[in-house]
Amino acid sequence: MPWLRPVHLLRRVVPVNLHAPQAPDILSPEFAADPYSAYRVLRDDFPLLHHEPTQSYIISRYEDVERAFKDPVFTTDNYDWQLEPVHGRTILQMSGREHAVRRALVAPAFRGNTLEQSFLLVIERNARHLIDAFREAGSVDLVAEFATRFPVGVIVDMLGLDRADHERFHRWYTAIVGFLGNLAQDPDVAEAGLRTRDEFAAYLLPVIRERRDNLGDDLLSTLCAAEIDGTRMSDEDIKAFCSLLLTAGGETTDKAISSLMHNLLRHPEQLAAVRADHSLIAPAFAETLRYTPPVHMIMRQVAEDVAIGGGEIPQGSTVTCLIGSAGRDERRYADPDTFDIHRADLSATTAFSAAADHLSFALGRHFCVGALLAKAEVEVGVAQLLEALPDVALAPGAEPREQGVFTRGLDELPVRFTPAGAGG
């Protein structure tokens, strides 16, 4: 597979507990069916584990994953071969001044005031449009008919692109996410991701060139015009960022919305609290990011030998950081296997900033630039769903299942509700 490369100087990691059970395999069907039980074994008995099939070192405890996101010795050099084949060179691969300048060029568009002034109406309009299509039906699959469509529509409208191409955008980001999470090295999945790179470039580069000559009030125009100290983004820079935005913004928000709704539907008393007070959507989102995060793994690469998790990772090695495990670490959170929007050890106030005490947006200099966009989409989308479907409940007999390993979300979320207008 293109983004998996050999890791040299591999050293066997000796588990802390010599009587530990067999280490879970992150590529096994058992892991895919229930990663949370496997995470517990990894945290307790294999806090540092070399995984031969992916040629990476796995860390699973909160303190170790947190360190990997904050300590500069854990670099993003892995993205040169993990992301660049499908996105091009993005701010995730950059460091130092190059990273600081590129981040400064794009970040203003994703700050709270700009989002509210420029894009909140876009978010609200997209949510309302989707909900209007099913509010009178009495039933809907919230994954297929809302969650997978909503963030793509928002990003397409923000960029000022043609909404008629929605299905193409959705297919593209699905293929790229499949490439990034292709831990089993399926050649067809890899080929689809590389093909998408070429198709996306052929579509977007002419649009970027045209937009430079005809600036508007959309995000693509903002990126074209952005300048700091004489530095502007090239057409390739903008294309790569849009590819990253479509993939990261689409995939994560898609899965976060459906998971949040599912978590609330499974906890009726918390659903009732959120329905009565929409300010609780933010804590519910933060708790979902901890409890059932959309991204379960992020990789880093160490610039030197690193002692961590009771062992040592050799210089140049890839590190698989298990976000999904860190969020369930009992060393960090009380009763971590319980969904609780009122928990005292997770702050919603800082949950969407670089001071977050969960790890789903990473931390440090590579904290997710789109965190506030995701927050705005989730808050608006969930609020409009609860308003339009006041008695929404899981459909009888429904058993939504999580699927995925690298990213993870529900296969479906069928719900029932009283149709709008029923009973006059």
Instruction: Give residue 272's pLDDT.
Output: 97
Predicted pLDDT at 424: 46
CATH number at residue 214: 1.10.630.10
- What's the confidence (pLDDT) of residue 232? 87
Q: Is residue 424 part of a domain?
A: no
Specify whether the CB–CB gap between 309 and 47 falls below 8 A: yes
Number of domains in the chain: 1
Question: Rounded mean pLDDT of the chain?
Answer: 87
Q: Which domain holds residue 409?
A: 29-416
- Answer whether residue 20 is part of any domain: no
Pairwise CA distance, residues 127 & 140, whole Å: 15
Q: Give the largest CA-CA distance in the chain.
A: 72
pLDDT digits (tens, 9 = 90+) for 228-241: 878 888 999 999 88
β pairing state of 227-228 and 48-51: unpaired
Asked if residue 421 is part of any domain, the answer here is no
**Residue that the structure tokens 């913004």 belong to:** 249
| Local structure of 338: helix, strand or coil | coil
Q: Is residue 381 part of a domain?
A: yes
- The tens digit of pLDDT for each residue in 368-377 reads 777 788 899 9
**pLDDT top residue among 90 and 192:** 192
Question: Does 15 fall in a domain?
Answer: no
Q: What is the pLDDT of residues 283-318, one digit of tens each?
A: 999 999 999 999 999 999 999 999 999 999 999 999
Flag whether 19 is in a domain. no
- For the cut 80, the answer to whether the pLDDT of residue 67 exceeds it is yes
SS3 at position 153: helix
Specify if 22 maps to a domain. Answer: no
Residue 3 covered by a domain = no
Confidence band for 381, pLDDT divided at 50, 70 and 90:
very high
pLDDT at position 112 is: 64
- Strands 56-59, 318-322: pairing is parallel
Phi-psi region of 160 (alpha: psi -120 to 50; beta: other; left: phi over 0): left
